[in-house]
Amino acid sequence: MKHYLLCGNIKLSDYKGKWLVFFSHPGDFMPVCTTEIIGFAKAYTYFKKINTELLGISIDSLNSHLAWLYDIYLKTGLIVNFPIIADSTGTLARKYGMISNDVSNSETVRNVFIIDDTGIIRTILVYPMNIGRYIPEILRTVTALQYSQKTSCMTPANWIPGNPMIVPPPRTFEELQKRNENIDKNRNGMSWYLSFRNVDNTPKLDKGK
């Protein structure tokens, strides 16, 4: 199914091969939403560096989107280069569970879907209507998912790119013994079930690198 947005018609399958941050906002010209759009626009370059695109959606009309983004441009000089879907019937928003009837029968809540380069949803974040999203955390989460996919490692709490990652736990008693020996030698863990390795030399995450 195609949906109309500021850049014309597009399908979610058009993003295959790229990661996608698909997010909803309750409505145009709303204060929290405006700060989020500005935040995403400022961070867009950083998302693109890790092969990730941004796609917004609300049930407001195309003309409303245009007027809102033009007003942002006049006030800040920022041009929002990523598309925003005009889902006036709410069809797509309801399919993705972006409308909470406990909050509103029409307005989308602040959902974020992080979709990988094969089209699989990897993370879902839901924020209340009155709390703005923290864009750096969304960027960090995408990066963590990509690093984990490339290294088969896991990220510990508060992980940021460049920090050590968690090595998957051993599956046999022999591997457990070797893991503990490695920890004793390199001081790179707490126990056989929690050890780390440095991923500073991990290849760049950009597509094709």
Q: Distance of alpha carbon 52 from its chain centroid, rounded?
A: 8
Active-site residue, selected from the candidate residues 5, 12, 20, 33: 33
Give the containing element (helix H, strand E) for 166. Answer: strand 165-166
What are the C-alpha distances in Å from 74 to residues 6, 69, 83, 185? 18, 9, 18, 60
Asked if 9 contacts 3 with a C-beta cutoff of 8 angstroms, the reply is yes
> What pLDDT tens digit does each residue of the chain (209 aa) get?
333 344 457 788 899 999 999 999 888 999 999 999 999 999 999 999 999 999 999 888 889 999 999 999 999 999 999 999 988 877 787 887 776 655 455 455 689 999 999 999 999 999 888 899 999 999 999 999 999 999 999 999 999 999 999 999 999 999 999 999 999 999 999 999 999 999 864 434 443 33
Domains of the chain, first to last: 3-149 (3.40.30.10), 156-197 (no CATH)
CA separation for the pair 145, 178 (Å, rounded): 28
Write the DSSP symbol of residue 37: H
Asked if 11 contacts 43 with a C-beta cutoff of 8 angstroms, the reply is no
Catalytic-residue membership of 153: no
Exposed e or buried b per residue across 62-90, where buried means at least 16 C-beta atoms within 10 angstroms of its C-beta: eebbeebbeebeeeeeeebebbbbbbeeb
Q: Which pTM value belongs to this model?
A: 0.85
Q: Where are the beta strands (DSSP E) in 65-162?
A: 84-86, 110-115, 121-127
